[in-house]
Amino acid sequence: MRFQLTTILAIASATVAVASPTWAAFEQWAKGAGGKSAPEHTSSRPSISCHPLHPSKPPPSPPPRNRVCYVKSHNDGVTDDSKYILDALHNCNNGGHVVFAEGLKYTIGTALDLTFLNHIDIDIQSYIQFTNDTVYWQANSFRFGFQNVTTFFKLGGNDVNIYGGGTIDGNGQIWYDLYAANVYTLRPVLIGIDGLHNSILSNLVLRYSPQYYHFVANSSNVIFDNINIAGRSISANVAKNTDGWDTYRSSDIVIQNSVVNNGDDCVSFKPNSTDMLVQNMWCNGSHGISVGSLGQYKGEFDIVENIYVFNTSLHNATDGARIKVWPNTPSALSGDLQGGGGSGMVKNITYDTMIIDNVDYAIEVDQCYGQSNLTLCLQFPSPLTITDILFKNFNGKTSKKYQPEIGTFACSSSTVCNNIVASAINVVSPNGTDEAYCLNVPQANLDVTCNTKYLGFN
């Protein structure tokens, strides 16, 4: 791969050692240092560049910060440290550097509205975990009004830089088990972003999110770099809907140089995601890098436009590159996820250079998402248009699940899909075939062997 994967994989394999010094001992050290900030106890802000591809907007270039605030901790893994966190963020807002000190453990048991942040560095060297009080979080977490999304906290503001190499743990196991018993459980997102601009999140370890790892809403010009995501259930209850990133009503977002081990979309562009760059990604166990799902809500016009996905590696996944659209009729994917009847457009999407390794479908264009009855889907075709889509430079081998097919290009009518191109598709199924299901799309532009037998739904 074209980025320094060795460093990221080292983070993935390492365990987080959490020592237990007292806060009093840390304060004593600070007094011994004469109240001055010590270089060895503040992380240097990473120098982030976008390479090899560059976004349409220049990356944020934050100025130096002028003071340091250390976040206190009860350091017992039980007592809520939320007040300490808010105090430090307010005290060092507008030009400061907040440090979650290495060796301490921080516990968050209160929903935090952090949309006030401005010109601030947040240096997470430590271990942060959310409490497992599912009753409290369901009643108090922040709701976004889209696909039952709720979040432990809302992160927003301008010129916010978060880094430090520390770990944020969503305490997901209790949520995986609870959701298996009740699909209407409101599971919080680990990193909830609402109205964040000109900011960078980098060098973080994220573990065991109850639902998505990132939900990026109403934001612009944000870079995610060197994020390590992993989490699975240790019970028979699967960790579901654990998307790496979901973007929503946002523009100019870069996601790069990261490792994702999860059980749903590696990255998903939800409604009104525009001007996005995703590059240098290693995704394992996912549902692919997806546009959608779109058209879920009747009366809504969803737009996903100007997306470039470059140099990605998909392993043991259901999909590689995916576009998923609800049909124009009510459909139910599950008890807590149903919809259909919305409109919109998907335009100017490029998937360039993707490694396929034991993936069910290398490419999936699906306008029947949530509807297993193909006849019903075609009877009520989606009005959402899919135009100027390019898949190129794909290499590898699919799983056996749908062989001889390696993909599907299925539009619900011949009028809504235009200029869909697949070139240099060097992907085969285990038996050596390169077939794909093709419906209502011009076949001359597809570097696969088209057939008319649909082997997979959703």
Q: How far is CA 315 from the centre of its chain?
A: 16
Q: How far apart are CA 278 and CA 281, in angstroms?
A: 8
Closest CA to 366 of 326, 401, 425: 326
Q: How far apart are CA 17 and CA 196, in angstroms?
A: 31
Bridge partner residues of 276 (DSSP)? 253, 307
| Contact between 381 and 410 (Cβ < 8 Å) | no
Of the residues 51, 197, 287, 315, only one is catalytic, namely 287
Cis before 286 (ω within 30): no
Q: How far apart are CA 296 and CA 338, in angstroms?
A: 7
| Greatest Cα-to-Cα distance within the chain, rounded to the nearest angstrom | 75
Q: Among this protein's residues, is 54 annotated catalytic?
A: no
| Contact between 447 and 423 (Cβ < 8 Å) | yes
Q: How far apart are CA 368 and CA 35, in angstroms?
A: 62
Show the tokens assigned to 56.
């349409």
Closest CA to 130 of 82, 74, 176: 82
Q: How far apart are CA 220 and CA 222, in angstroms?
A: 6
H or E, element range at 67: strand 67-70
CB atoms within 10 A of CB 69: 20
Three-state SS for 142-187 is EECCCCCCEECEEEEEEEEEEECCCEEECCCHHHHHHHHHCCCCCC
Q: Report the SS3 class of residue 7.
A: helix
**Residue 33 neighbours by CB under 8 Å, 6+ apart:** none
In the DSSP assignment, the letter for residue 103 is T
**Residue 145 neighbours by CB under 8 Å, 6+ apart:** none
The stretches of 56-131 forming alpha helices (DSSP H) are 82-91
Q: Is the backbone of residue 369 left (phi > 0), alpha (psi -120 to 50) or beta? A: beta
Q: What share of the chain is helix, strand, coil (3-state, %, to 5)?
A: 10, 45, 40
H or E, element range at 13: helix 5-13
Known catalytic residues are: 287
